[in-house]
Amino acid sequence: MGTGEEYDIDQLCEEDIATFWPLEQAAPDAAGESSSARHELLLAYGDKLLVNPRLSRNVVSFQANKGQPVFRWFKYKEGFSHILVRWLLRALKTNGRGRRRVLDPFCGAGTTVLTATQEGCDATGIELLPVAQEIVKAGLAARRASARSLKYHIAKLTDLDLGTGNNGTFEFPHLRITRGAFPPPTEEAMAAYLHYLEKVDNADTRYMLWFACLCCLEEVSFTRKDGQYLRWDSRAPRDLRSCFNKGHIPDFRTAILNKLQTITHDIATLQQHYCGNAHANIIHGTCLEQLPLLDDESFELVITSPPYCNRYDYTRTYALELAFLGCSEKQVRDLRQTLLSATVENKSKREGLRKYFASIRAESRFAAAEEAYDNQRALQEVLGKLYDAKADGALNNANIPDMVANYFFEMNIVVRELARVLAPGGSIAMINDNVRYHGEEVPVDLILSDFASSAGLEVEKIWVLPRGKGNSSQQMGIHGRQELRKCVYIWTKPSAGRSGR
């Protein structure tokens, strides 16, 4: 069951819920955990925690997307698989007739949108990160692009002079963090290639050729995406202490031609299986501002995975691509602050969101969200312990408590707005991980589910992966290895005449 090909979607949907089993819960310790707010929250939702043997890390992550058209073109590791989306589309029943309307407010590389439209649903995605926006755009453009036209240009590019004299005026628009990322001949060849694209008439063909270049940046560079940052090869012209060697770095011509061959091959598959009457809509921006603008009860299904509360900084991981897209240093800093707060550098958006909701005459919605946040006792308990640790100088970064507070305030806004735009009888499937800081587990699954309940949704189940994740190596050295839950939350909106929990 480790790869997508081993999954029989029809068989999965026929599985009875009885094949799942309740999560074995640890007994409270003698230190008073039984009276803690977190333990009370566990008692309230413990019967919803069901271990789902049909879910694996490969499926509830990007890994089962490997080798799949679109998803194998660009190395985008944040997200979930098309296998999971197909399963959820079939397993989650919704009211209404005609094509279902599906929403992903954290669209990422577009797994939900591209898969849902292929399955015949209308789909809307909201995405702020420019790199992810381009991946979705490429997936949609591939449904129209001509493989024959791409093959023609591949033949021409095979013998094209990619030397200095043929590069037009392009210079890679480096950020400070990306300087020295490419061997000089690679930048020269890239410039010549982009100059060639200026003469390509067909817009879809030209875009796919350009997108292939975006996909090759890491491969032809001295960098590798590694966790929460770019890892630099020791051959880079930078002052580095590391002896890391990423292995063979291909020349630009080899890399771009290989990428174009892959894209051209996949286009035929995509066009063969695409359901042509399904509609895709991509909204560029932050869901904190775009969700409140959507109509009430306008979607039957939401499938999404928000950024995790894990200090992951997309703007550093995708720095090469952001530079290629022309983002300035200021734009990158602004983007980092606009993204959902999940890094220690994020500042509170609370007052800004208050003003925004007032500007769209939705003050009551903001006030209700603020009340739910302030009254969530388990969250406030965690924050109290983290702020105490900060006061004692015990945290490896003093901004961790603020990050956790900001994350949940914003996610509470998102959850309540999702409840508003969901149609009666509709479902929300959300993928997320629990986290731990200073030895304190943050039960993300239970806190967000409680927010959902306070917004009028029913917590149907919280599917728990049979295998969780460990805490960080730094925390294991102090607190020991403790497994954290990886979950898929299923929330539903009561049909007319029914009330939530």
pLDDT in tens, 177-221: 999 999 999 999 999 999 999 999 999 999 999 999 999 999 999
Q: What is the mean pLDDT of the chain?
A: 88
Same domain, 207 and 293: no
Same domain, 199 and 215: yes
C-alpha angle 131-469-77 in degrees, rounded to nearest 5: 15
Where in 379-434 does DSSP place strands (E)?
422-433
Residue 497 lies in a domain: no
- Express each pLDDT in 423-467 by its tens digit: 999 999 999 999 999 999 999 999 999 999 999 999 999 999 987
Same domain, 113 and 173: no
Q: So what's the pLDDT on residue 25?
A: 58
Across residues 483-496, what is the average pLDDT? 92
Same domain, 281 and 343: yes
pLDDT at 15 over 80: no
What domain range is 37 assigned to? 4-142+275-492
Q: So what's the pLDDT on residue 500?
A: 41
Q: β-strands 49-51, 21-22: how paired? A: antiparallel
Q: Residue 240: CB partners within 8 Å, gap ≥ 6?
A: 232, 234
When divided into structural domains, the chain yields a total of 2
* pTM, two decimal places: 0.91
Residue 416 lies in a domain: yes
C-alpha angle 357-327-144 in degrees, rounded to nearest 5: 85
Q: So what's the pLDDT on residue 470?
A: 56
Residue where a domain stops, chosen among 219, 251, 273: 273
pLDDT at 331 over 90: yes
Please tell me whether residue 65 adopts helix, strand or coil conformation.
helix
Cβ neighbourhood burial of 46 (10 Å; 0-12, 13-18, 19+)? middle
CA nearest to 220, candidates 143, 321, 117 = 321
Residue where a domain stops, chosen among 219, 244, 273: 273
Residue 389 lies in a domain: yes
